[in-house]
Chain A
Amino acid sequence: MNDLIDDPTPGQNLPEFSVSEVSGAIKRTLEDQFGRIRVKGEVGRVFKARSGHLYYDIKDDRNVLSCTTWKGQVSQLSVVPEEGLEVVVTGRLTAYGAQSKYNMNVDEVAVAGQGALMALLEKRRKTLAAEGLFDPDRKQPIPFLPEIIGVVTSPSGAVIRDILHRLRERFPRKVLIWPVAVQGANCAPEVARAIEGFNRLTPGGALPRPDLIIVARGGGSVEDLWGFNEEAVVRAAAGSRIPLISAVGHETDTTLIDHASDLRAPTPTAAAELAVPVRLELIATVDAQGARLTRAVTRGAGLQRQRMEDLSRALPRADSLLDTPRQRLDRAGDGLQVALERFVQRRRLDLSNLSGGLRPSMLTRLVAAEKRSLRQAAAGLDPALARSVRLRRERFDARAARLSPRALQREVKDGTQKLDALSARLSRAGTAQIDMLRKRLAAADRMHETLSYKATLERGYAVVRSGAEVMTTRADAAKETLLEVEFRDGRLTVAPQGDRPAKKTPPKPEPEQGSLF
């Protein structure tokens, strides 16, 4: 806790700094001591701020160094740092007192070794190829004779000169140059923008749209050409609807734009040769075609005339054409008279042959024969009728004989017998039924007697009545003047004597009281 109190101990002679003093001293020390240095490492996280400044890390297997490249410096970089890339950065160490941090301000980035760069290039190539950007079926044909050629390159330098020179030699055309940086950090965005910009132009507009684009750059180191490996450039080239020839570097250099372009030229000069045909050759060809055309048509007409003459010579005279038919006519005319006479003769012969057999005797013979056969048929007519009648009568007699009353009588007798038997059975059955019923009635009567109160009388009980009513209580009986008592053997009329102590009176059972049994 003592630390918090400003308590200068006597004898403590360390100098006292303010924070800013220390920060400033550190910053100066760092900048002075190290000066301009080169640091090799692998690029880590990269962050491009909206302000345009670039912040990134350079690291090895143990430590990290923060790096900064200001907006104005970015365009000077030949290689834009990219995560995973082995680089050598050049710049100055400095400190940022506000955060107690030190970092390096980098103004130059170089790829550390070709191997690292090639590995990165190969990785990127595979990624873009997997997307199909390099597919052969994306390639467009290069126009035979483009009207306007758009060239994306640096406006100064040998490349554009070479291209224009070779175009002029072959076939002078309209050329639109879209100036771009061909190396450094601005290269890729500018080239991509130029390709897209040409595609956006409308044909016949104030800025005419080219029929062909050439993207060109002269030879250089891998780092110099690096912009043409950038994804933005590759995508712009692959997406261009205007056919595109790439000509970047020398013949041995291959950049990714070469894979995406419709045609790759080994050099800018070669690009010009691929872009246009040779005019003089074409003129010669057209002239030759014209000459052949005239010759062919002249010769064709000549041949036709020749043929016509040949044919007309071979054409026979009209008279000779008629000779044969005339001869045939003469021969036919000669034969006509003879043929007619011969025909009439043959017919006449036929007629006489036919009329020879036509005589009256033949008819008479025919009539006699018919008459004979008629007579024969008439003779058979009477006997046939008699025979038919006799036959039918016989058949009738046979049937009538079979018709007798005996069969009917037998049937009646059988019926009578059956009836007698059934009557006897009926009578027997009726008697038996009556006997049985009678027996059941007697049994029922016996049963009735047994159940009747009269059986009770046999056992000594009596029934008391007044008139038709049965007296069942003493009170009822006392009201009456005369009572009738029924015993087993008959009835007796008695007069009750009231108010005497009640003697035992025989019970008067209910006539059909089943419980008395």
Chain B
Amino acid sequence: MTDRPADRPVAEMSFEDAMKELESVVDRLERGDVPLSASIDLYERGAALKKRCEEELKRAEEKIAAITLDADGNPTGTTPVEGL
């Protein structure tokens, strides 16, 4: 059935892709022409996508580091940066 979602594992999707698919799932459900059984699958898919997006949004962690360089300008590691 064409209404089946592509079923790419949600965990592998980028935030942007998950967001786009969530929007398309909502659009299809709102159009109301999806058979009942497919609409349940679709809803579950949408819920998983939403969860994925929320997780990504929750992981809004700031971490700032500066690269340390040796005398030749090659990176050797990082040093945390604070106070900026």
Contacts and interface: CB of A to CB of B under 8 A. Distances in A.
B12 interface: no
A181 to B, nearest CB: 11
B2 to A, nearest CB: 17
A231 to B, nearest CB: 18
A293 B14 CA distance: 20
Q: Interface on chain A toward B: helix, strand, loop, or mixed SS?
A: helix
Interface residues on A, range: 35 or more
B36 A164 contact: no
Given A145-B56, A289-B50, 13 more contacts: A155-B81, A174-B65, A176-B67, A178-B67, A190-B73, A197-B75, A207-B67, A282-B57, A290-B47, A293-B50, A297-B29, A297-B43, A300-B34
B42 to A, nearest CB: 8
A177 B67 contact: yes
Contacts of A300: 29, 32, 34, 36, 39
B65 A176 contact: yes
Contacts of B22: 286, 289, 293
Interface of B: 14-16, 19, 22-23, 25-26, 29-30, 32, 34, 36, 39-40, 42-43, 46-47, 50, 53-54, 56-57, 60-67, 69, 73-75, 77-78, 81, 84
13 contacts: A155-B81, A160-B84, A171-B60, A175-B64, A177-B65, A197-B75, A207-B77, A289-B26, A293-B46, A296-B29, A296-B32, A300-B32, A301-B39
A1 to B, nearest CB: 62
Contact of A285 (B19, B43, B66): B19
A143 B18 CA distance: 14
Contacts of A282: 19, 53, 57
A207 B67 CA distance: 9
A169 B73 CA distance: 32
B56 A179 contact: no
A293 B23 CA distance: 9
B84 A164 contact: yes
B15 A145 contact: yes
Contacts of B74: 197
A416 B27 CA distance: 131
Contact of B26 (A143, A172, A174, A292): A292
Given A160-B84, A297-B29, A300-B39, A286 B62 contact: no
Interface string A198-223: 00010000110000000000000000
B14 A286 contact: no
A175 B63 contact: yes
